[in-house]
A and B are shown apart, each in its own frame.
Chain A
Amino acid sequence: MISCSQAVEQLWEYLEQELDEIRRAEVEQHLAFCRRCCGELEFARELRGFLSDAARPQLPADVEGRLTSFLDHLEDPSTDPDGSTTDATTTDGTTSTTQGDRP
């Protein structure tokens, strides 16, 4: 039977169902006999939920304003990134060909 350290090392993969059949059976065999590692498993489950449930950072209004203005500027370079219109010559950035990212 695998040791406690070997079992604990695989608990997250076990929860993510990423262990192959043999390793999963080994972990389950160990958990059937080890109360401490059952506690470790339960805590790993709680910690997973703790991460997944962590609230998403909200988009602050001022940041949203700047990003929206930036979008406006991309489409209309005569617009300053802060949203105002200028007489400045359009800057480069809208016609250059760059290596795109994988879709």
Chain B
Amino acid sequence: MTTVRPSFGTVVEPHLPWLYSLARRLVGDPDDAEDLVQRCLLKAFRSYDRLRDVEALPAWIKQILVNCCRDYFRREGRAPDEEPLGELEGYSLYRTLAVEDPLPYSDSLHLDFLASFTTEDVWAVLDRLKGLHRIPLVLVHMEGYATEEVADMLDVPQNTVLSRLHRGRKYFERELWAYAEDQDLLREPQGASR
């Protein structure tokens, strides 16, 4: 008896919310994220007949999305060379907060600093990172993948992922502080509306 394969749209549509949210986390800009998802859907549609097990669709289409994301950064010329971290190597947001003491009345300075960021602020900070560093940071620390899995997804050695993660975290810490200063996040008392 021949099994009727469900239509592509039927199996993919329930996954649109997380596909979009992943795209949004990876590339930042909402329009670019939507475009990325469309590219992903087109590629997946063209390969759907070759997907042997429809149950494997989530992992399969996520891989397609990540591949499209890599193409996106290459096409947009956003594949920067790996520059030495230089002074950033020794940067510590923990130390910066302790020295600058931006919340002098706080009993839990570091927690209160992080609490001053909304979700939109976090995305804005992530958007300041180059794709080379944002992608592994999102995949490991937001999507929960192991570095070995990310290495496989990005088709690079695991050590490369670890190196990009290390840099990404440094840039992320630095940009958290820079963003907080730029946006005056620490100017108002805790609890005041923004």
Tally of A-B Cβ pairs under 8 angstroms:
122
Number of interface residues of A (CB under 8 A): 44
Residue B50 at the A interface, CB < 8 A? yes
User: Chain B contacts of A16 at CB under 8 A?
Assistant: 140, 147
User: Chain A contacts of B135 at CB under 8 A?
Assistant: none
Question: What 1/0 mask marks residues of chain A from 5 to 36 whose CB sits below 8 Å from any chain B CB?
Answer: 10011001100101000000000000000000
User: Chain B contacts of A93 at CB under 8 A?
Assistant: 42, 46
User: Chain A contacts of B186 at CB under 8 A?
Assistant: none
User: Chain B contacts of A63 at CB under 8 A?
Assistant: 20, 30, 34
User: Chain B contacts of A8 at CB under 8 A?
Assistant: 92
Residue A98 at the B interface, CB < 8 A? yes
Residue A52 at the B interface, CB < 8 A? yes
A101-B25 contact in complex given A68-B16, A71-B13, A72-B9, C-beta closer than 8 Å: no
Number of interface residues of B (CB under 8 A): 58
Residue B133 at the A interface, CB < 8 A? no
Q: Given the complex of chains A and B, what is the CA–CA distance between A43 and B41 in angstroms?
A: 39
Residue B37 at the A interface, CB < 8 A? yes
A103-B63 contact in complex given A59-B17, A70-B38, A72-B9, C-beta closer than 8 Å: yes
Residue B4 at the A interface, CB < 8 A? no
A100 and B169 contact, CB distance less than 8 A: no
Q: Given the complex of chains A and B, what is the CA–CA distance between A18 and B46 in angstroms?
A: 38
A98 and B47 contact, CB distance less than 8 A: yes
Cβ contacts A to B, 17 pairs, < 8 Å: A8-B92, A40-B94, A42-B110, A43-B94, A50-B114, A51-B141, A57-B21, A57-B119, A58-B17, A64-B20, A68-B13, A70-B41, A74-B42, A74-B45, A93-B46, A101-B64, A103-B63
